[in-house]
Structure 1
Amino acid sequence: MNLDFARAALAAQPFSVLLGARVEEFGDGRAVLELDVRDDLRQQNGYLHGGVLAYAADNALTFAAGTVLGPQLLTSGFSIDYLVPADGTVLRAEATVVQASRSRATCRCDLYTVDGEGNSTLCAAAQGSAVLRRPATPG
């Protein structure tokens, strides 16, 4: 699997397309997803909605896991801590594999907002795992 494969997989996710997410890095236990911060993704106080950060963490964690386990994955679970309100022009989710077995990978993800001058602010941290998807059993 390579960056082009990861980009095609993301493009096959309608919700990711709706948000305008893109894969910027993919390989060797690491994945980086980005999306442009738009006004329709903000909450009532003007900050990026926490659900958007959770989406980015979930997908980045699973993509990072995919670099070691392959593409047939599902998120098993994750937790996220919001550190500061997210504001900027780009949301960047950087995920790395912490531990992997043959069927499960645990990953960590740091989420940054980037402003117009390129300055990054750590706004959330997440940890989660992905597991190989089991084939459906008949009947």
Structure 2
Amino acid sequence: MENRNLINLGKQILEAQSFSKLIGATLTKFAAGEVILEIPIKDSLLQQNGFVHGGVLSYAADNALTFVGGSVLGPHVLTSEYKINYLRPAVGEKIIAIGTVIHAGKRQAVCRCDVQVLHHGEKKTCATAQGTIVTMDPTANNNS
């Protein structure tokens, strides 16, 4: 799929996620094997010490992992599992989650994501994650 079509598809999928809209997430890059998801930092995303809440960093990593996995597996994917390491408190203007594919097969992809914070023009990694993204059957009844 051409990169312009891929970014448009990615933006449509992100727009369909109400939580993503709530926190202001945008997809700034969506190419085969690489994704960049950005979130502007606002007061409603901070925890009691003034740092970006860990749940927001975790959301950024999970969504970037799923999008990048979908960039090589197709649009019908889910996160099977992921692990995140918080490295430093996030303080700044914007969260930038950079997802890449480590290995992809036919039905699953192992991906990584580095979550950076932009503060006064400088980017620092505040979390890193690795996860497995799997294909799903969109017609299957997933209630069981």
TM-score by length of 2: 0.92
Segments of 5+ residues of structure 1 without an aligned counterpart are none
AA at the equivalent of 1:38: K
Cα offsets for 1:96-124 (capped at 9, x unmatched): 00001100001000000001x32101100
Determine the C-alpha separation between the residues in 2 that align with 1:86 and 1:53: 9
Shift, 1:136, TM fit? 1.5
Shift, 1:137, TM fit? 4.8
Please say if 1:123 is aligned against 2:126.
yes
Q: Which residue of 1 aligns with 2:35?
A: 31
Large movers: runs of 4+ above 3 Å? none
CA RMSD of aligned residues (A): 1.5
Determine the C-alpha separation between the residues in 2 that align with 1:14 and 1:65: 21
Identity of aligned residues (%): 46
AA at the equivalent of 1:127: Q
Determine the C-alpha separation between the residues in 1 that align with 2:62 and 2:14: 13
- Figure out how many residues of one structure are paired with residues of the other and give that number: 138
Segments of 5+ residues of structure 2 without an aligned counterpart are none
